[in-house]
Amino acid sequence: MKKRAIVISAILLLMLFIGAFFLYRNYLPKTKEGEKSITVTVVHGDGSSKDFDLQTNSEYLREALEEQDLITGTEGEYGLFITEVDGETADDTRQEWWCITKDGENINTSADQTPVADQDQFELTLKEGY
């Protein structure tokens, strides 16, 4: 009887993992292939901003930004941690960091995981304070 309960539990656990995997795949942000035109607004620490109109075949934001040499950073467990944008470096001692938004709204993915579509508008803003 105890063996049967263990087998049933193992099967249910496996089914749960399979279901979670399919849900994850369903709700992943979808990428678009082909040429896209995107706008990236960089808001510097002094409050000035600069717009960049990019033409790209990249599927993710990081690739599009690196094509134009707009960003540099360090690799982390979630992808690239952006440390420099348009020649301005975030100062760690002042708790500065680059925030990515899309159409003024926060996004919950890194540049590595943010898909781009034609006519997307992104903002990279230098923020202070964690």
pTM here is: 0.74
CA angle at 17 for the pair 14 and 23, rounded to the nearest 5°: 145
Band the pLDDT of 102: cuts 50, 70, 90.
very high
In percent, the amount of the chain with pLDDT more than 90 equals 68
- Would strands 71-76 and 105-106 be described as parallel, antiparallel, or unpaired? unpaired
The amino acid that residue 105 corresponds to is E
Q: Residues 100, 78, 31, CA angle at the centre, nearest 5°?
A: 65
Whether 24 shows a pLDDT value over 90: the answer reads no
Strand order in the sheet with 79-85: 71-76, 79-85, 88-89
